[in-house]
Amino acid sequence: MNDYEIDYSKYPNLEQEEESEKCALCEREKRLSFHHLIPKKMHRRKNFLKKFGKEEMKKRGIRVCRKCHSTIHKFWDEKTLGETYNTKEKLMETEEMQKFVTWVKKVR
């Protein structure tokens, strides 16, 4: 296992795919995946390591459905996500996510 592979046994809340469960953003019951609030691409950068630490970056995240996960990465690049939108609350404060979540809740 290299430095950036996660040992999921240490972090049971980080399982990659979950059975139907509510998405942290849209609250729809779907299969979920783990969204790293500080993207893995940023984990080796000195400024991120200094500010958050390796362990915090590995575990900081939310479980989201595929539509929400794809939308997050459609709107922002990894650096912006790590620097600016690194909490669920910060993501949900954005007009983009508010509009998307309102729309996706209506879709089955």
Cβ atoms within 10 Å, residue 36: 21
pTM for the model stands at 0.76
Domain borders along the chain are 12-99
Closest CA to 78 of 41, 35, 34: 41
Tokens 């949900």 belong to which residue? 92
- Quote the pLDDT of residue 19: 59
Average pLDDT, consecutive stretches of 10 residues, N- to C-terminus, the chain (108 residues): 47 52 94 92 87 86 96 95 94 97 89
- Quote the pLDDT of residue 96: 96
> What is the distance between the alpha carbons of residues 78 and 13, in angstroms, rounded to a whole number?
22
> What is the distance between the alpha carbons of residues 9 and 14, in angstroms, rounded to a whole number?
9
- Quote the pLDDT of residue 108: 64
Q: Which two tokens stand for residue 12?
A: 């049971």
> What is the distance between the alpha carbons of residues 48 and 44, in angstroms, rounded to a whole number?
7
Q: Which two tokens stand for residue 80?
A: 């912006």
